[in-house]
Amino acid sequence: MNGLASSVGILIVLVVVCLFYVMDPDKKRSNFIGYRTKLSRSSEANWRLSQKLFYILAISCQLVLVLANVLIDISASLNFWILLGYMLIVVAIIQSILHNKQKRS
């Protein structure tokens, strides 16, 4: 599988999972799907905020990666490392926001 196909596949998965979350009328904390950390699951407000942030940031980053793959040929293995890198950054951003929110409370 080339880099463009893998990056588009991951984008599709992120969008589908996001749609399941958005279409869920309850938006309650899930044991199976979503951005799940101890801090994100500590309250309903944190759960909703972390899901919103995760999907916005992850889909945005993946869109950039898809566009980069359209412009230049990026191997599937390099796509994996880029994905891993931006996911670590996304997690750090979300955890920082949740931690700061908790400190203010």
Q: Which of 73, 98, 81, 99 shows the shortest CA–CA distance to 5?
A: 73
In this prediction, residue 10 carries a pLDDT of: 94
Half-sphere exposure at residue 40, Cβ-oriented, CA atoms within 13 angstroms: 23
C-beta separation of 49 from 56 below 8 A = no
Q: Mean pLDDT, to the nearest integer, of 90-99?
A: 94
* Higher-pLDDT residue of 23, 58: 58
Q: Quick one: pLDDT at residue 47? A: 87
Domain boundaries, the chain: 3-104
Quickly state the pLDDT bin for 25 (edges 50, 70, 90).
low
* Of 23 and 74, more confident: 74
The string of pLDDT tens digits covering residues 27-86 is: 677 677 778 888 888 888 888 899 899 999 999 999 999 999 999 999 999 999 999 999
CA distance 3 to 99: 35
User: The pTM is what?
Assistant: 0.86
Number of H helices, E strands in the chain: 3, 0
| CA–CA dist 40, 44 (Å, integer) | 8
Is residue 1 pLDDT above 70, yes or no? no
Q: How many CB atoms lie within 10 A of CB 66?
A: 19
